Structure 1
Amino acid sequence: MESGPAVNTSATGAVEGVQNSTLFERAARAGHFVSGLLHILIGYIAIRLAFGQGGNADQSGALAELGSKPGGSIALWIAVVAFLALAIWRIMEAIVGKKSDQDEGSAMDRLKAGALAVVYIAFAWSTFGFAKGSGESSGQQNAGMTARLMENGFGKLVLIVVGLVVIGVGGYHVYKGVSKNFLDDLEGHQSKGVEYLGIAGYAAKGVALIGAGALVIVAVFTSDPSKATGIDGAVKTLGEQPFGQILLILAGIGIGLYGLYAFVLARHAKM
């Protein structure tokens, strides 16, 4: 019977073997490409909202938009596979570290990889719903869950914590953009164009996340779960402000630029 260390070494070796698969790495990189495409569609929807057209400026709205195009159903199934591949890749990074690292990576790096794996699993699940024709609006789901949690004091506390976490994640995105720390995620020297994409994209997405988190907290204190509709709610709230049309256009452009940066990740991310 194999000892514990031997089993662990065998498991680590198996994971590293998968990481060395060129085909699997390409599938994982495709997850970045799909994420970029969805962010571009979210930006496009935000700009449409600025001109009085309908739509949900969030992942569900982007998936619905993608699914409505010719060949959209096939594209959605490809997106499911790509997101799952990227999620599995992040799980492997959480276990053995990045393939590109010379060492095993820090505990914080592994924790971040695990958190990203959860995010991409959620993306894959949401995309799966739209691929099989049963997708739902993220905003409606968020509002419904918020309403259920607001039925008791503990649930309200959970919502406040969630809102603060989302605000923190948004703040980190802004910091990562303005500090150019995102360049550490990329292989080799990058052009000024890539730098500008990353700065604008991370900042815009961060602001949207901060708005989404703030709306969750506002929903709790106003006892109005309809306010907690995620990024779509944050974008639409932006449009209700003075010069809202201009703000929506700028938000749409910024989120779209993040999508273009995700295309850079698909090609140059350290894996």
Structure 2
Amino acid sequence: MGGIADQAERAGRQAENSDWLDYAVRIGMVAYGIVNLMIAWIAAELALGDSSGKASSQGALHKLAQQPFGGALVWLVAIGMVLLVIWRLLEAALGHRDEEGGKRWRKRAVSAGKAAIYGAVGVSAFKVATGSGSSGKGGQSTTSKIMDWPGGTWIIGLVGAAIVAYGLNNIRRAWTEKFREHLSAEGQGGDAGKAYIWFGKIGYMAKGAAFIVIGGLFVYAATSHKPKKAGGLDDALHKVLQQPYGPVLLMVIAAGIACYGLFCFARARHLSR
């Protein structure tokens, strides 16, 4: 059994370090960039008074499907997300070997979490591509069911706190420019490199702000015992719209999400894993 496990680990490491995985990640990053640009488009429309679209991954995919060659692009997104899931699962199982102890396991846990995020987008993409995904707004039945469990409100509250922490970490990455590790040296040089870095700074800042609002909604739902108050990105952006100068703030966030999408393209071109 030990020999089989060693062979499996060697095979996994070869796959993780192979050129084909680089190509797979590049395709996935392009697909993820497209999704974020579509979300930004819907958010901008919402800021301008058009609330017909849903500012979420699924809403973005429905919007994409309505464009010329949209069906093919949705399939590209679905395949790209599968490739990103494979990459992150390999990282979760075998990656971050240059780290030691708890830091290695923490990074592997983060990789597993990102695999889940990409997987959720991929499932939505396959549903839209096959015509089985609904473009309407869903309820909060899952949150309601969890809150009915013993300790369910604590679970929802902890989920919200974790989402807020993730948002804060994105802002930290923007402030410290930690995201630059995702770009090769070539991708950070010259005028193009400066533009990519600005896309990253603005994009990670906007992404972080959006996740903080989402997490805050979950925490509020837990503390108020109102599961319908929890929500995803679409609910968070509507909450922003209700604030003073909401349309202006929402347009800024939309621009930031678009910058994150452009950074995904830059990352695909100048990949550093």
For normalisation by structure 2, the TM-score amounts to 0.89
- How far did 1:150 drift? 2.9
- Map 1:209-220; keep pairs closer than 5 Å: 209-220=211-222
Structure 2 residue aligned with 1:37? 34
Percent identity for Structure 1 against Structure 2: 32
- Map 1:65-80; keep pairs closer than 5 Å: 65-80=63-78
- How far did 1:31 drift? 1.1
- Amino acid corresponding to residue 207 of structure 1 in structure 2: A
In structure 2, the CA distance between the partners of 1:161 and 1:139, relative to structure 1 (3 Å rule), is farther
Is this contact kept in 2: 1:140–1:229, CA < 8 A?
no
Is this contact kept in 2: 1:93–1:113, CA < 8 A?
yes
- Map 1:6-25; keep pairs closer than 5 Å: 6-25=3-22
Structure 2 residue aligned with 1:268? 270
- Map 1:155-194; keep pairs closer than 5 Å: 155-189=152-186, 190=188, 191-194=193-196
> Cα deviation per residue 1:67-101 (whole Å; 9 max; x = unaligned)?
11222222222211111111111111223326xx8
2:29 counterpart SS class: helix
- Structure 1 runs (4+) deviating above 6 angstroms are none
2:171 counterpart SS class: helix
1:150 counterpart SS class: helix
Pick from 32, 57, 63 the counterpart of residue 61 of structure 2.
63
- Map 1:146-161; keep pairs closer than 5 Å: 146-161=143-158
Structure 2 residue aligned with 1:109? 107
Query: Does 2:200 match 1:198?
Result: yes
In structure 2, the CA distance between the partners of 1:47 and 1:140, relative to structure 1 (3 Å rule), is same
* Unaligned residue ranges in structure 2 (runs of 5+): none
Structure 2 residue aligned with 1:51? 48
For normalisation by structure 1, the TM-score amounts to 0.89
Is this contact kept in 2: 1:139–1:232, CA < 8 A?
no
* Unaligned residue ranges in structure 1 (runs of 5+): none
Distance in structure 2 (CA, Å) of the matches to 1:7 and 1:138: 48
Structure 2 residue aligned with 1:130? 128
In structure 2, the CA distance between the partners of 1:47 and 1:20, relative to structure 1 (3 Å rule), is same
Is this contact kept in 2: 1:58–1:138, CA < 8 A?
no
Distance in structure 2 (CA, Å) of the matches to 1:152 and 1:20: 43
In structure 2, the CA distance between the partners of 1:134 and 1:71, relative to structure 1 (3 Å rule), is same
RMSD between aligned alpha carbons? 2.1
